[in-house]
Structure formats: C-alpha cells, structure tokens
Amino acid sequence: MTFRRSTLAMAILGLLENGPLHPYGIQRLIKQWGKDQVVNVGQRTSLYRMIVRLEEAGLIAAGATERDERYPERTVYHLTDAGREVCREWLSEILTTPRNEFPEFPAGLSFVMLLPPETAGELLARRRELLTRRIAELRRELEATVDGQPIPRFALLETEYQVAVTVAEAEWIDGVLRELRSGTLTWKPGPV
C-alpha cells in the first residue's frame, strides 16, 4: 500500500522512534516540543484518523492497552520496521527537494494590483507589525528551557528556520513599503 506523505504522519512516525506511545501522548509531545508550529495537527480526530491509516498501512502497530484509573483505556502504538523505513525516506525527500507549497501570501501578492497602492501599503505595514511579534515569539522559543535545561539546538532547527524565513519576509516587506512610500512602486488599481 502506498501511503501519501504528510507532516502529521511523519511527526507520528518520528515520535514513535523514541518508543511506544498512546495517541494522547503523541499529541502532548507534538505540543510540548513545539512541533505544532510546523505540523498541522488540527483537531484530535485528525490525529486519531491518521493513526488508524498508519496502522492500516502497516507503518505502526497497536501494542498493549494501558489502564489508569484517571483515564480511559489507551492503546499504545509502536513503529514497525516498514514505518521506520518510510519515515527515513520521507525525511530524505523533504530535506533534499525544494517544493513549491503554494502559501497564501504569495497568492495574495499576485493580485495586489486590485487594491490601491496606499491600501496595499497599509495592509503590508500591518503584516510587518505581526511579523515583528512573531519573530519575538520565535526567539523566545529558542531561549526556552525544559526542567531548567536549555533545549538542544537539534530540536530547535525548525524554529531557527522559521526565524530566518520570517526575518527575510519582514525585510522584503520593508523594501516594498519604502518603494510604495517613495512612489517608485505604484499601479492603477483594478482588473488586470
């Protein structure tokens, strides 16, 4: 069975590398380790559906059922050899192959000419303010500790990347705003 790669599936397989977990434990680690910033977990039902699909594909397997008087029964899942192999393949593909992921912002920019330049400038200035806040949040995450210990750098590489990309976007917007203010970038609003 061919399984379509997704960041949620890879996160589940990756977390199970450390040992068996129940779905709630997987969800808790995704949040605790900040992986929810780069993996769209969605609602809890999305996680459970993905676990079922991974199990049906033979990439993970159900193990024991844990019992705790405070919680309902929880099935613990572990990574299969096939799941480990698929996770490594996906990781290799993701790290080596640039992909156009069609984010919304560039799509919006492609139709900016529908707005007056002044309005576009106001909207981009607002985005720039939000980016400034996001950069500060990300930098705080880089300085976070767990149990008083700094988080190892290898566990924060995605956050470092997000800082770099967000800073680059903010600098690009600064340049566009300068050009809009000086009048070197302008257009007549309306249909193309």
Q: Once rounded to an integer, what is the mean pLDDT over residues 144-150?
A: 87
At 137, the amino acid letter reads E
- 92 and 139 share a domain? no
pLDDT of 106 above 70: yes
- 110 and 151 share a domain? yes
Domain containing 129: what range? 104-182
pLDDT of 192 above 70: no
- Domain total in the chain: 2
pLDDT tens digits for 168-179? Answer: 999 999 999 999
- 191 located within any domain: no
Q: What is the DSSP letter of 21?
A: B
pLDDT tens digits for 14-31? Answer: 999 999 999 988 998 888
- 84 and 13 share a domain? yes
pLDDT of 67 above 70: no
Beta-sheet strands, E only, within the chain: 60-68, 71-79, 145-146, 149-150
Q: What is the pTM of this model?
A: 0.80
Please report the pLDDT score of residue 29 as a whole number.
Answer: 87
Of the candidates 100, 58, 64, 99, the residue with the CA atom closest to the CA atom of residue 82: 58
Q: Is there a contact between 79 and 13 (Cβ–Cβ < 8 Å)?
A: yes
- 109 and 77 share a domain? no
